Amino acid sequence: MAAPLLDVRDLVMHFPVRSRGIVSRTLGHVKAVDNISFTLEAGQSLGLVGESGCGKTTTGRLVTRLQRPTSGQILFEGQDIANASPRELRPLRRDIQMIFQDPYTSLNPRHTVGSIIGAPLEIHNLVPKNKRLARVQELLEIVGLSPEHYNRYPHEFSGGQRQRIGIARALTLQPKLLVADEPVSALDVSIQAQVINLMQDLQKEFNIAFLFIAHDLAIVRHFCPEIAVMYLGKIVEKAPREQLYMSPKHPYTKALLSAVPDIGQVIAGGRRERIRLTGDVPSPINPPSGCPFRTRCWKAQDICATMPPPLEKKGGAGLAACHFPENTNPENTNPENATRDAA
Amino acid sequence: MTQNSKPFLSVEALTVNFPTSDGIVHATENLTYTLERGKTLGIVGESGSGKSVSSSAILGLHHYNNAVVSGQIWLDGIDLLQLSDKEMRLKRGKDVAMIFQDPLSALHPYYRVGDQIAEAYRAHNRVTKRAARARTIEMLARVGIPQPDRRVDDYPHQFSGGMRQRVMIAMALINDPTLLIADEPTTALDVTVQAQILDLLQDLQREFDTALIMITHDLGVIAEVADDVLVMYAGRAVEYGTARALLTKPSMPYTWGLIQSVPDVTASVDKPLRPIPGSPPSLVNPPSGCAFFGRCEFSERVAGNRCAHELPKLLPIELGHSKRCHLEDTSIMYSDSAEAGVL
Amino acid sequence: MIAFAVRRTLIGIVMLLAMVLVVFVLFFAAGNPAKDVCGKFCTPEKLKQVTKVYGYDQPISQQFGLFMKGLVVGRDYPVNDAYRAALEKSNPDLVIHCAAPCLGYSQHDASTVNADIVKYAPVTISLALYSFILWIFFGVLFGVIAAVFKGKLLDRITVGVTLVVYALPTFFIGTFLLQFVAIKWRLVPYPTYVSIADGGVAGWFSSLLLPSLTLALFYMAAYVRITRAFVLESLSEDYIRTARAKGLRTRVVLFRHGLRAALTPLISLAGLDFAALLGGAVITESVFNYQGLGLLAVTSARNSDLPVLIGLVIVAGAAVIAMNIIVDVLYAYVDPRVRLR
């Protein structure tokens, strides 16, 4: 079996917290990403979901090497880029690109759309100067904008159109992996679907792998066949979407899913019972011992405080890190039953 | 809705315009709706649809920008638009209160949360500082902030997002308002926290028999809390009715499109999403016909190109359900969506 | 907070030392200071003697070491040890002790640089303080008024006037005030500096009115516009909408919620502008012929009096660094979000 496009192993990112004395000392670490592993095949999509502060954005920044991880390996096409120098990273920047959340702040307002999209061509000197314009116009067309717009400035476009520009910029170098960090959450609902469809078309057409980072469970489900749920810097569950949404194994996944307001239930009539998590996510500086979720978990027992549950198979195709997983009865993996269970 | 007595809140032909250098922005045009105590009206729309502008008008917040407000806003038998600045100020924060989308920017960063809440209480009650503080701590406890007697002296940045929104709710409800306007109160929050806040708002609404206007772009939130729903597009109401009627039988193509374009946590993932093409029209030079013309899939089903030239009226289609649309046979929408496998 | 202040002070001292080094190397290595001291009618023999007596024959590192020693513990002049020892016996009055922090000795003025600066500093400090109070008070006042009446006539007049004032050069304003207010219309007596010791507070106060006003007008114009912008920005914040939604009086919304936030960035600006003035207001002091540090700098530069120039640069730099620390501490005091580290 060939090596996967992206193979992340034991990735750790700790940010030091310093004291305020005359001479600053390191008091502890924010464990933003705490020992996570996952793989992504070429042309596939992996969803990374979780609440703010769970480390999903940091993970994206590590994979694109905007930050250097504390430890762990990031194998891209078999080559470890976790500690690559800026010089070594240069060719990789072509293969790994990023789409950002806010299309209003991630485009330089003083550059024309043409120079924003064309800049990577210039930096990597890939296309001869006289053909750059043609390439930019081609890219604009690919993302559904008019090729004549290359001379305009970002403020002349709406939010959805700006995100298309951001996607065109990311596509310029024909990357193999796109890290999309909340690519549609700043957009209006009716526009979100346009951008999601565009990304799906592009993925098929150019065989691009997506690391799709978002908090919106419905959109992640729509986009990614496999999804990892993060909590306090750790992956607590990773499973194919059918299983994750129909019969989640980790209580946190279950709670997260049941918290999503859903119009389907009203149409179906009646309101479902929801699992209510109490309190806030604990501080990542001093996470709970054992299982990070135990302080908010309704199933927590003594062992949860002493032994961190390993991420392992709990029935079905996926992995979960829990001592007392949900939905482990074989008959419960039937989607019909599972829906009723969550309802 | 009783036929004889006036409803508790009755907004009639509300129009809000902003003169700008580019021309007059028609932010809200001829908006009419009613709301009883203890009930929730959900106002749905995208950015620029006029949903926030129209609600700020109820608080008289447009006194402070050069907006032109006309129409009538009857609250408990008084037309708020006829009140003097001072009379309106005495109603603000007392009879009508508001909570906002981003609690971090809506709270003053330099003052302790307790002082900010007490300030709202003392603006409408002649009480000592000590009494106001006691009342503040009581409210903080009521909205579920742990250790309220200690946290009362913290600054906004020391709270998490969800706790900050609880602080905002405590501030809004400290004078027992009869009408509460919540402007995207959970948009900036994580889903599990959103669920907590929505529960809290509904609990408090039941306890104080408050009329609640919930402004949101999220149909899921609407499904969760609203009794009635008003859909706004380009400054006008385009569909208005009970939540059940509107969500199960959307009759205006825009509402239908919104429901279609949202991926559902249970819907099929094989079909692409059905986005609404294009983007909303300018509010400076609104089109002469239907504002949704150009994005609407069904306008060619209306004879004589009426959608392009004639603004449809908001007309009842059944009891408690009206729409602004020329399309008479809405069954074509359902045959279409059944195909898409959503409804 | 104290730990922060201590740490920032230590960093400030390091920065100051680095600055002294750069200034010293630039001034001494670039030219031939002995030639400047030797003067117009220099002969080769005299130059040789001066070089030796003043220690300019020593390597630059050694000269810098001596200078640093003077800053820390003080030193004696002339520099050459043998020469000084001889002088001590023959003519002890000519040996000059310069106490720490010794900034150097000016042959031209025949005094230590410290003495020069102490002599000229009161005028500059008085001017800086006086104009600072004027410009902050009126600048912020008119800035707030302009912001509150944004777009109205009062705002347009204020903005228009400040633009004109801002565009007028200081020497023009100074000369105008001097020629018309003092000389032609005789609204105030001709300004000459009177110290508090000589004329009491009232005398000091009136003697500084015109030059301080000259200095303040330029800053005032700038601060009206800055304040206006900050207040307008603050008034468009979400928390102002919250304050209004609470039903607070306009006055409370404006001052307690709006102005408070706008003043914070003003603190850092004002602190640095004030510090810059402590280095001397060259044009104003020249126009009114007030003996301040600015004028001292001009004369020293004209006379190629390097020791004085070095001393002035160090003093001005120290003022900026010190104000920076004060501003940072103040900032943390007014903005609870700023945690000092």
CATH number at B288 reads 3.40.50.300
Tokens of B92: 């603000």
Q: How far apart are the CA of B93 and the nearest CA of chain C, in angstroms?
A: 4
* pLDDT at residue A337 greater than cutoff 70: no
Asked if C251 reaches chain A (Cβ–Cβ under 8 Å), the answer is no
Interface test with A, best of C6, C7, C338 (most A CBs within 10 A): C7
Q: Is B261 among the domain residues?
A: yes
Residues A221, A224, A226, CA angle at the centre, nearest 5°? 100
Domain limits for position B182: 1-95+177-343
Average pLDDT, chain A: 87
Nearest chain B residue (CA) to A193: B275
- pLDDT score for B175: 95
Q: How far apart are the CA of A142 and the nearest CA of chain C, in angstroms?
A: 39
What is the spatial distance between Cα C49 and Cα B224, in angstroms, rounded to a whole number? 96
ipTM value: 0.88
Tokens of C212: 């301080």
Q: How far apart are the CA of B205 and the nearest CA of chain C, in angstroms?
A: 19
How far is residue A261 from each of residues A70, A244, B192, measured CA to CA in Å? 37, 17, 10
Domain residue limits, chain C = 2-112, 115-334
Return the SS3 of B325.
Answer: coil
What is the spatial distance between Cα B158 and Cα B303, in angstroms, rounded to a whole number? 60
Does residue C289 or residue B65 have the better pLDDT?
C289
Nearest beta carbon to residue B105 from set C239, C249, C334: C239
* pLDDT at residue B183 greater than cutoff 70: yes
- pLDDT score for C306: 86
Tokens of B189: 């929050």
Q: How far apart are the CA of A260 and the nearest CA of chain B, in angstroms?
A: 6
How far is residue C141 from each of residues B171, C137, C257, measured CA to CA in Å? 32, 6, 16
Give the DSSP letter of residue B83. Answer: S
Nearest beta carbon to residue A255 from set B47, B192, B217: B192
Nearest beta carbon to residue B100 from set C238, C260, C337: C238
Nearest beta carbon to residue B247 from set A217, A267, A280: A267
The predicted model gives B31-55 an average pLDDT of 93
Nearest chain B residue (CA) to C150: B65
Asked if C6 reaches chain A (Cβ–Cβ under 8 Å), the answer is yes
* pLDDT at residue A332 greater than cutoff 50: no
Contacts of B45 (CB under 8 A, 6+ apart): B51, B217, B231, B232, B233
The string of pLDDT tens digits covering residues B124-138 is: 999 999 999 999 999
CA R_g for chain A: 22
Q: How far apart are the CA of A24 and the nearest CA of chain C, in angstroms?
A: 8
User: Is the CB of A263 less than 8 angstroms away from the CB of B161?
Assistant: no
Give the DSSP letter of residue A155. Answer: G
Q: How far apart are the CA of B332 and the nearest CA of chain C, in angstroms?
A: 44
The string of pLDDT tens digits covering residues C172-188 is: 999 999 988 888 888 88
Asked if B105 reaches chain C (Cβ–Cβ under 8 Å), the answer is yes
Q: Is B271 among the domain residues?
A: yes
Contact at 8 Å (CB) between B160 and B109? no
Contact at 8 Å (CB) between B103 and B163? no
Half-sphere exposure of A121 (CA within 13 A, CB side): 21
What is the spatial distance between Cα A166 and Cα A116, in angstroms, rounded to a whole number? 9
User: Is the CB of A190 less than 8 angstroms away from the CB of B194?
Assistant: no
> Model confidence at B331, in pLDDT bands (50, 70, 90)?
confident
Contact at 8 Å (CB) between B294 and B253? no
The predicted model gives B155-183 an average pLDDT of 94
Contact at 8 Å (CB) between B240 and B230? yes
**Dmax of chain C from CA atoms?**
86
The string of pLDDT tens digits covering residues A182-239 is: 999 888 888 889 999 999 999 999 999 999 999 888 899 999 999 999 999 999 999 9
Number of domains within chain B: 1
Nearest chain A residue (CA) to B48: A188
> Model confidence at B342, in pLDDT bands (50, 70, 90)?
very low
The string of pLDDT tens digits covering residues A268-293 is: 665 566 788 887 788 888 889 999 99
> Model confidence at A120, in pLDDT bands (50, 70, 90)?
confident
Asked if A22 reaches chain C (Cβ–Cβ under 8 Å), the answer is yes
Q: Choose the most confident range, by mean pLDDT, from B65-69, B249-253, C96-100, C303-307.
A: B249-253
Cβ-Cβ contacts under 8 Å, C10 against chain A = 22
* pLDDT at residue B338 greater than cutoff 60: no
Nearest beta carbon to residue A280 from set B163, B257, B272: B163
What is the spatial distance between Cα A22 and Cα A90, in angstroms, rounded to a whole number? 40
Cβ-Cβ contacts under 8 Å, B162 against chain A = 280
What does pTM read for this prediction?
A: 0.85
Half-sphere exposure of B50 (CA within 13 A, CB side): 30
User: Is the CB of C341 less than 8 angstroms away from the CB of A22?
Assistant: no
Average pLDDT, chain B: 90
Range with the poorest average pLDDT among A122-126, A241-245, B52-56: A122-126
User: Is the CB of A20 less than 8 angstroms away from the CB of C6?
Assistant: no
* pLDDT at residue A81 greater than cutoff 60: yes
Contact at 8 Å (CB) between C221 and C162? yes
Cβ-Cβ contacts under 8 Å, A200 against chain B = 272
> Model confidence at A43, in pLDDT bands (50, 70, 90)?
very high
- pLDDT score for A271: 57
Pairing of strands A226-231, A234-240: antiparallel
- pLDDT score for A341: 39
Q: Is B197 among the domain residues?
A: yes
- pLDDT score for A183: 92
For residue A139, give the nearest of A120, A125, A159 by alpha carbon: A120
CATH superfamily, region C115-334:
MetI-like (1.10.3720.10)
- pLDDT score for B4: 53
> Model confidence at C7, in pLDDT bands (50, 70, 90)?
confident
Tokens of A287: 């996470």
Tokens of B123: 């603006």
Give the DSSP letter of residue C275. Answer: H
Cβ-Cβ contacts under 8 Å, A297 against chain B = none
In this complex, how many residue pairs, one in chain A and one in chain B, have their CB atoms less than 8 Å apart? 128
Backbone angles phi, psi at A152, to 5 degrees: -90, 170
Q: How far apart are the CA of B325 and the nearest CA of chain A, in angstroms?
A: 19
- pLDDT score for B230: 97
**Cis peptide upstream of residue C101 (ω within 30 degrees of 0):** yes
Nearest chain A residue (CA) to B257: A190
Residue B284 neighbours by CB distance under 10 Å:
12
Cβ-Cβ contacts under 8 Å, B97 against chain C = 245
- pLDDT score for B2: 43
* pLDDT at residue B108 greater than cutoff 50: yes
Interface test with A, best of B22, B159, B163, B265 (most A CBs within 10 A): B265
> Model confidence at A23, in pLDDT bands (50, 70, 90)?
low
- pLDDT score for B277: 87
Q: Find residues 24-43 of chain A whose CB sits inside 8 Å of chain C.
A: 24
What is the spatial distance between Cα C47 and Cα C53, in angstroms, rounded to a whole number? 10
The predicted model gives B197-210 an average pLDDT of 94
Cβ-Cβ contacts under 8 Å, C245 against chain B = 59, 61, 92-93, 97-98, 172
